[in-house]
Amino acid sequence: MSPQKKNDNLQAAKTVVYRLLNIRLRSEWELNDYLQKKYFAPKVIQDCLQYFKNIELIDDHKFARLWINSRLKKPYGLNRIRLELFKKGIDPQIVEHETNLATLDQIPEIEIIRDLALKQLKRYGQIEQQKINQRLYGFLFRRGYQAQNILKVINDIQNNKRN
């Protein structure tokens, strides 16, 4: 279909959305963006998304909650999870609300960082300590953990090695 011709078929848009939702849940923004790229008319996109909201197959709160839970199991830090949700078009208030709820029943971040750091240390072998610290910090920071917690864990591990 050429970019000049808009698709006015609501049923075709619904079929596309059903197919996408069968793969995984999507945010409203993701679906809107995808339908726009497929050249559906704005009115068709609006009607289609409203239909799926009415039958509760599009719910950004639910999407954010499930995304956070799945990413915490990876494990990823809250900073990375928040960034991923922002990129998926989730409202910042929804992100903050859902991350606050998710962190109430989670293992403390320090313990998760310590476990990841100890696993990662086994891979580094016999290289100098400063290089190990840089690699470990980078690895944990890219996973979305807070810098102060990473530094605390690295210092704790070094102190335990000395003792």
Task: Tell me if residue 9 falls in helix, strand or coil.
Answer: coil
pLDDT value at position 34? 96
Contact between 18 and 55 under an 8 Å Cβ cutoff? The reply is: no
Inside any domain, residue 65: yes
In this prediction the pTM is 0.79
Rg (CA), the chain: 22
29-67: pLDDT as tens digits:
999 999 999 999 999 999 999 999 999 999 999 999 999
Question: Per the domain annotation, does 4 fall within a domain?
Answer: no
Spatial CA neighbour of 99 closest among 146, 150, 153, 154? 146
The boundaries of the domain holding residue 33 are 10-54
Same domain for 143 and 117: yes
Alpha-carbon separation of residue 151 from 31, 37, 64 (angstroms): 39, 43, 29
120 lies in some domain? yes
Is residue 137 assigned to a domain?
yes
Question: 153 and 115 in one domain?
Answer: yes
- Asked if residue 60 lies in contact with residue 90, where contact means CB atoms within 8 angstroms, the answer is yes
What domain count does the chain have? 3
> Within a domain: residue 5?
no
